[in-house]
Amino acid sequence: MADLETVAESLIKGQAPAVDAGVRQALEEEVPVRDILHQGLIAGMNVVGEKFKSNEFYIPEGLIATRAMKVGLELIRPQMVAEKVEPLGKACIGTVKGDLHDIGKNLVGMMLEGAGFEVVDLGIDVPPEKFVEAAREHDIQIVCMSALLTTTMGSMQSTVEALKEAGLGDQVRTLIGGAPITQAFADKIGADGFAEDAASATEAAKELVTALSN
């Protein structure tokens, strides 16, 4: 019999084959896809986020766990679409123009997916107009930007301003992060949120979506 608690534990340990087997068994036994998502995958990712924040997990462990999560998510995605399971929110994410680093960005994107967000990954070296275009095309609520180089931090300000100039200021919230980024910088450029790590980014995105809908 399918055991979603075991799926969650396997995800935490980064055991992708075990996650694959557990989710397949749950689907075969017609366990509701919402239960697989929330009691298996999201429950596991919540623990991963806690371990990340308490420094029990670092980027390598986080990436292994999130890759295991993606295996399970891909299996249930067709049924989620068929049953119209609503995402927690819609986010796009990218490393800003001039910056080619993507490990942190990838981890945040996968953890957002693990928390129930629909995520559009724009990749690296993303100019402000591409963030604006994605926000419009996909009805994005949270625009997430990453920068590792101090020389590219200005691109974050340009993107925040571009979103406002495009008339998206009321329906889109901006969330920024990366090694040189601080809360003071976020305040200075008018970003709506700042996160110092992937787990904090997930929490901040949840808060921003909740605030948008109220």
Per-domain residue ranges of the chain: 4-82, 90-213
Lowest mean pLDDT among 133-137, 182-186, 194-198, 210-214: 210-214
The chain-wide mean pLDDT, for the chain, equals 94
213 pLDDT more than 90: no
81 pLDDT more than 90: no
- Give pTM, 2 decimals: 0.87
Query: Given this model, what pLDDT does residue 152 score?
Result: 96
| HSE toward the beta carbon, residue 137, CA cutoff 13 A | 10
Q: Retrieve residue 92's tokens.
A: 């796009």
Q: What is the mean pLDDT of residues 50-71?
A: 92
| HEC sequence for 35-100 | HHHHHHHHHHHHHHHHHHHCCCCCHHHHHHHHHHHHHHHHHHHHHHHHCCCCCCCEEEEEEECCCC
Query: Given this model, what pLDDT does residue 51 score?
Result: 93
Query: Given this model, what pLDDT does residue 198 score?
Result: 87
Query: Given this model, what pLDDT does residue 160 score?
Result: 97
- The reply to whether domains 4-82 and 90-213 share a CATH topology is no
Lowest mean pLDDT among 21-25, 57-61, 160-164, 177-181: 57-61
Q: Which CATH number fits domain 90-213: 2.60.40.10, 3.40.50.150, 3.40.50.280, 3.30.930.10?
A: 3.40.50.280
Query: Given this model, what pLDDT does residue 24 score?
Result: 96
Q: What is the mean pLDDT of residues 122-129?
A: 98
127 pLDDT more than 70: yes
Say how far apart CA 115 and CA 159 lie, in whole Å. 25
Which of 67, 68, 65, 64 is closest to 23 using CA atoms?
68
pLDDT in tens, 140-166: 999 999 999 999 999 999 999 999 999
Question: How much of the chain exceeds pLDDT 90, in percent?
Answer: 86
Dihedral angle, C-alpha 139, 142, 147, 151, nearest 10 °: 70
1 pLDDT more than 70: no
Q: What is the mean pLDDT of residues 29-36?
A: 94
39 pLDDT more than 70: yes
Single-letter amino acid, residue 63: L
Q: Domain 4-82 falls in which CATH fold?
A: 1.10.1240
